[in-house]
Amino acid sequence: DLAPHLEPVRTTCPYCGVGCGVLARPDGLGGASVEGDPEHPANFGRLCSKGSALGETLSLDDRVLHPMIAGRRVTWEHALDEVAARFARIAEEHGPEAVAFYLSGQLLTEDYYVANKLAKGFIGTPHVDTNSRLCMSSAVAAHRRAFGSDTVPGCYEDLDEADLLVLVGSNAAWCHPILFRRMLDARAKRGTRIVAIDPRRTQTGEEADFFLGIRPGSDTALFSGLLVHLAESGALDERYIADHTAGFEPALDRARAIAPDVAATAALTGLPRAEVQVFFDLFRTTPRVVTAFSQGVNQSSQGTDKANAIINCHLATGRIGRPGMGPFSLTGQPNAMGGREVGGLANMLAAHMHFTPEEVDLVRRFWRAPRIITGEGLKAVSLFEAIERGKIKALWVMGTNPAVSMPRADRVRAALRRLDTLVISEAVATTDTLTARDDAIVLPALAWGEKDGTVTNSERRISRQRRFLKAPGEARADWWMLAEVGRRLGHREAFAWPNAAAVFREHAALSGFENAGSRDFDLSGLAEIPDAAYEAARPVQWPLPRKAKSGRARLFADGQFFTRDRRARFVAVQKPVLADPTSETFPFRLNTGRVRDHWHTLTRTGKSPRLSAHRAVPFVEIHPDDAARIGLAEGDLARVSTPYGHAVLEVMVTPGAQAGALFAPMHWSETTSSAGRVGALAQGAVDPVSGQPELKATSAAITPA
């Protein structure tokens, strides 16, 4: 497989949740050239700047190549024996709940499945959470409240077929660029209008037909006002509401209490009344509307309510699951959706099942699990707090860098030092998490191009990620090392898969096990897929039950949801309140997010000079009036402080920033810039339903450095 390939290998991009298909041609020297896969239905051959630079990020510099304990190279046998022995001892001495796993939306579904099974069925700990908690868990919770299941109702073709595209808290032009190109194509072809709703005037806002620069955190006011407007202007789909939903009246009453009219909506959102009216009229008069939302909605202490306020408006007009209509959660990571499918979140069990006695018993019997858990575990923020308090003694971190990306990251890094045992499976040798302590058990993981499995993108489409490079050093698949630990804990049969295809078959079989259509996630049509067919598999959307000829692009147009009574639920949302009030000392609001050409904590995109040239250093955006008042000019260094930490960042003065607001990207770490670790500044108050932390509105101060 090291020989140059005449035929390219079909795989998928490892960055965002668009899930673009990639054709990779290895050069025989450990590198590869990449181009977009013209046959992949997510991107039809296109790649954005990050995807097209993938070939520049394949170097073996800075890789973990061998298992290590306390910085000393050891054999795989020794490392795995040690992990199993320590987990067994800690579970024995302190109970299984003293062991935890912190996973990643970068993992493949097969990795996620094995981690979830090992923890929840065989070690007996519910504490399995993931960096997807920071990404889309509010969308998950909102889907569950509204639909009875975590189901994205529509597909990417809806973006092509909508007449109105509303983007809420999403800089899709930078963060989901290929989907944004599809939106621009729709505008060119059918005159689709694009509305961007965001406190920042980002590139998306610049290119939209209509930009609504709302006050931070006021999304529920805007969509409550919209629900009231739809009700009062006769725009409701009364038949759909009556036949297929419940809870409309209380939700409308609450919306009226929050934003009774256009004037009140304008006052709460900080928008001019005329702009609110234009948006309401557009939504009311355009049947084919997709409302796509992302981190500006999710990364909030009221993220679930924000998403439900959006979904309420779609349910009220029956605009869901039909061509060009529906609420659409844009997933941040390449496999956040796959992680949800296996149950890799602390509040799920497996295969979109939760913790009813029937579901627990079903999963126990399917796995033949000796220690099945019966309730939820700790979500990311609470999990690291439990580590800080000494309740969790052993943690296995897989493919993520919480010492940078978690809010209050300094506390998280300090918490890691309290553990009895820290296991890290990782491809990169110098992450802040890996260097947080020098006695970690470090397991060399495969990186993109070396691993084999599946991922699911934002439209429920499962694609293969394929290997086209030789594994460097002793690096191995994450699912393999988890299975080896399971076998060492005495569960040889339950963890005996010969390859990733076998893991996938078991995952697909569990999704269909005793599932008579009561659960949305059903992949049992692939439960017996042979190895060769798995190898050659083309992208497919779930659900794909046994005997189905193809997956389903859309759900819910028939009004059949996954609640017990099959009706969708309107949700009475709370009035918008920001969790971290500003003060005289901290008068600004700090928003964090991504830039166009970098990904997460720079471990891959940082290797490409081309990508790094877009934004070379950590920076902070500030409005010109605020900059002038404080005495800051473009290119100056500023000290940004919050009650939780500080960073020194280069000043970028932009009228796209709202007065009183700051924006700083999340990418830089201690490893890449000693002063630009922005995760340490974020407050991280959690949404009470989803547990997703606030990363968009921390009170902050800024002064010349």
13 is an interface residue for ligand SF4 by CB under 6 A = yes
- Phi first, then psi: give them for residue 291, nearest 5 degrees: -105, 105
Stretch of residues binding ligand SF4 (CB under 6 A), selected from 9-17, 218-226, 378-386, 556-564 = 9-17
The tokens describing 492, both together, are: 């040889």
166 is an interface residue for ligand SF4 by CB under 6 A = no
Q: How far is the CB of 541 from ligand SF4 (least distance, A)?
A: 17
Of the pair 177, 684, the CB lying nearest ligand SF4 is at 177
Select the residue interacting with ligand SF4 from 26, 41, 51, 399 (CB under 6 A).
51
What type of residue sits at position 542?
W
Task: Reduce the secondary structure of 189-234 to three states and give it as a string.
Answer: HHCCEEEEECCCCCHHHHHCCEEECCCCCCHHHHHHHHHHHHHHCC
Q: How many residues bind ligand SF4 (CB under 6 A)?
A: 14
Question: Which residues in 18-37 contact ligand SF4 (CB under 6 A)?
Answer: 18-20
DSSP letters along 549-612, please? SS--S---TTS--SSTTS-EE---PPPP--SS---SSS-EEEEEE--TT--TTSTTGGG-HHHH
Stretch of residues binding ligand SF4 (CB under 6 A), selected from 123-131, 170-178, 264-272, 526-534 = 170-178
Select the residue interacting with ligand SF4 from 9, 10, 11, 15 (CB under 6 A).
15
Q: Residue of minimal CB distance from ligand SF4?
A: 51
Of the pair 176, 319, the CB lying nearest ligand SF4 is at 176
Select the residue interacting with ligand SF4 from 11, 43, 671, 683 (CB under 6 A).
43
Q: How far is CA 570 from CA 244, 258, 562, in A?
A: 11, 16, 14
Select the residue interacting with ligand SF4 from 50, 413, 507, 623 (CB under 6 A).
50
16 is an interface residue for ligand SF4 by CB under 6 A = yes
Specify whether the CB–CB gap between 376 and 386 falls below 8 A: no
Q: How far is the CB of 471 from ligand SF4 (least distance, A)?
A: 23
337 is an interface residue for ligand SF4 by CB under 6 A = no
156 is an interface residue for ligand SF4 by CB under 6 A = no
699 is an interface residue for ligand SF4 by CB under 6 A = no
216 is an interface residue for ligand SF4 by CB under 6 A = no
Largest Cα–Cα distance of the chain, in whole Å? 71
Of the pair 154, 177, the CB lying nearest ligand SF4 is at 177
Q: Which of 430, 147, 450 is nearest to 311 (CA)?
A: 147
- Phi first, then psi: give them for residue 232, nearest 5 degrees: -85, -10
Specify whether the CB–CB gap between 471 and 446 falls below 8 A: yes
Of the pair 177, 618, the CB lying nearest ligand SF4 is at 177
The β-bridge relationship of strands 326-329 and 394-398 is unpaired
Of the pair 11, 218, the CB lying nearest ligand SF4 is at 11
Stretch of residues binding ligand SF4 (CB under 6 A), selected from 41-49, 128-136, 356-364, 689-697 = 41-49
Of the pair 207, 531, the CB lying nearest ligand SF4 is at 207
Q: How far is the CB of 105 from ligand SF4 (least distance, A)?
A: 12
Stretch of residues binding ligand SF4 (CB under 6 A), selected from 43-51, 245-253, 254-262, 349-357 = 43-51
Question: Rounded distance, CA 582 to CA 621, Å?
Answer: 18
Beta-carbon-side half-sphere exposure of residue 186 (alpha carbons within 13 Å):
25
Q: What totals of helices (H) and strands (E) does the chain contain, helices first?
A: 25, 26
Question: Rounded distance, CA 492 to CA 619, Å?
Answer: 51
Specify whether the CB–CB gap between 343 and 352 falls below 8 A: yes
126 is an interface residue for ligand SF4 by CB under 6 A = no
Stretch of residues binding ligand SF4 (CB under 6 A), selected from 17-25, 183-191, 270-278, 509-517 = 17-25
Question: Which residues in 403-462 contact ligand SF4 (CB under 6 A)?
Answer: none
Question: Rounded distance, CA 465 to CA 443, Å?
Answer: 21
Q: How far is the CB of 333 from ligand SF4 (least distance, A)?
A: 10
Select the residue interacting with ligand SF4 from 48, 118, 155, 436 (CB under 6 A).
48
Question: Which residues in 576-595 contact ligand SF4 (CB under 6 A)?
Answer: none
178 is an interface residue for ligand SF4 by CB under 6 A = yes
Of the pair 16, 701, the CB lying nearest ligand SF4 is at 16
Stretch of residues binding ligand SF4 (CB under 6 A), selected from 67-75, 132-140, 175-183, 666-674 = 175-183
Stretch of residues binding ligand SF4 (CB under 6 A), selected from 11-19, 147-155, 469-477, 665-673 = 11-19
Contacts of 266 (CB under 8 A, 6+ apart): 272, 273, 275, 276
Query: First-to-last CA distance in the chain?
Result: 52
Specify whether the CB–CB gap between 22 and 51 falls below 8 A: yes
Q: How far is CA 552 from CA 244, 499, 545, 589, 677, in A?
A: 20, 28, 10, 42, 42
Stretch of residues binding ligand SF4 (CB under 6 A), selected from 13-21, 91-99, 218-226, 587-595 = 13-21
292 is an interface residue for ligand SF4 by CB under 6 A = no
Q: How far is the CB of 164 from ligand SF4 (least distance, A)?
A: 22
183 is an interface residue for ligand SF4 by CB under 6 A = no
Stretch of residues binding ligand SF4 (CB under 6 A), selected from 176-184, 322-330, 340-348, 364-372 = 176-184
Radius of gyration of the chain, Cα coordinates, nearest whole angstrom: 24
Of the pair 42, 526, the CB lying nearest ligand SF4 is at 42
Question: Rounded distance, CA 161 to CA 124, Å?
Answer: 47
Beta-carbon-side half-sphere exposure of residue 404 (alpha carbons within 13 Å):
28
Question: Rounded distance, CA 690 to CA 693, Å?
Answer: 9
222 is an interface residue for ligand SF4 by CB under 6 A = no
Stretch of residues binding ligand SF4 (CB under 6 A), selected from 15-23, 186-194, 267-275, 603-611 = 15-23
Question: Rounded distance, CA 224 to CA 219, Å?
Answer: 8
Footprint of ligand SF4 on this chain (CB under 6 A)? Answer: 13, 15-16, 18-20, 43, 47-48, 50-51, 176-178
